A and B are shown apart, each in its own frame.
Chain A
């Protein structure tokens, strides 16, 4: 899958070998994005990455499982992304996001699904909020769910047949 830019998207979730893991660790280290000691936790959460024409990693996405009090302690995947300045186009971000939606939908339908009911995305960059002002993004179905205290937009999409577990609120 290609983006609108010169970058190429690579789905890597569940396919990380030692060489690719090392490449990601070097990328995170160069970007000062992931502290030492957290690599082993972060690697299994990686979904996809972007490469430039030279084959270098210029973007990566991941999803961790969490429960937020704001969402009644329901289990969600929180989508995260890291893009270099070289990959700062909205289309690059959208490519990572679309791939992330696909991968997480597949995981939600897998027999060993760990119970998350949907996906949350925190949009930290104002230009991305402005690029897609629709209350419901047509490409992904992500729905505007408000803003965080830091002013980041929060969007949510649910997996098929998701239900709110009332017992999770305790």
Chain B
């Protein structure tokens, strides 16, 4: 699914590993770059799924959170995904790799029956630069589909897991 290499970075699934240093580092990154206030960063601590680290410098480069949510319009439980890439590490494919790692993790758990609570991934794209740069109605590789905009004009995309159903 993802054949692009990311040699300089290591992506840790902190939900599985429980790696305290990576989790604390992610929270500190949010604060250092003023991406979130302290209370917000602490709330998202438990939602952290992936943390990417530059191997050479041991610096945190980005992270992904996911949490289960049912969008009122969709009426189906989905994993809402948020990604953040540190300012110094943008344009280096980290977000791309974390997207696929997130998809692989949740879809495999869904297909194996280990966790079928979410039927897919959901994301809202706030950044207009990304909205423009990635304006394909269906992202070819990850198959995220544009399903409209929210009240704030953010692009909403969904990727249902293979075999997912709407009850």
Spell out A's residues near B (CB within 8 Å): 68, 70-72, 117-118, 129, 133-136, 143-147, 153, 156, 158, 161-166, 169
Contact = CB atoms under 8 A, between A and B. Distances in A.
B68 interface: no
A75 to B, nearest CB: 12
Contact of A163 (B135, B145, B155, B164): B135
B147 interface: yes
Interface string B73-106: 1111000000000000000000000000000000
Given A70-B148, A156-B145, A158-B138, 7 more contacts: A118-B137, A129-B166, A143-B160, A146-B73, A158-B145, A162-B138, A166-B131
A158 B147 CA distance: 10
A33 B43 CA distance: 53
Nearest to A143: B145
B146 interface: yes
B55 interface: no
29 contacts: A71-B146, A71-B147, A71-B148, A71-B149, A72-B148, A117-B137, A118-B137, A134-B166, A135-B76, A135-B160, A135-B165, A135-B166, A143-B145, A143-B147, A143-B158, A143-B160, A144-B76, A144-B158, A144-B166, A145-B148, A146-B148, A156-B147, A158-B138, A158-B146, A163-B135, A163-B137, A164-B136, A164-B137, A169-B149
Nearest to B162: A136
Contacts of B18: none
A104 to B, nearest CB: 14
Contacts of B37: none
B119 A135 contact: yes
B71 interface: yes
Contacts of B40: none
A166 B146 CA distance: 13
A124 to B, nearest CB: 16
Contacts of B119: 135
Contacts of B166: 129, 133-135, 144, 153
B75 A158 contact: no
B145 A164 contact: no
A145 B144 CA distance: 12
A20 B136 CA distance: 39
B167 interface: yes
B120 interface: yes
B19 to A, nearest CB: 33
Nearest to A68: B148
Most chain A C-beta atoms within 10 Å of own C-beta, residue among B73, B136, B148, B149: B148
Nearest to B149: A72
A145 B78 CA distance: 13
B48 to A, nearest CB: 27
Contacts of A144: 74, 76, 158, 160, 166
Contacts of A146: 71, 73-75, 147-148
Nearest to A161: B136
A144 B136 CA distance: 18
Contacts of A147: 73-75
Nearest to B140: A161
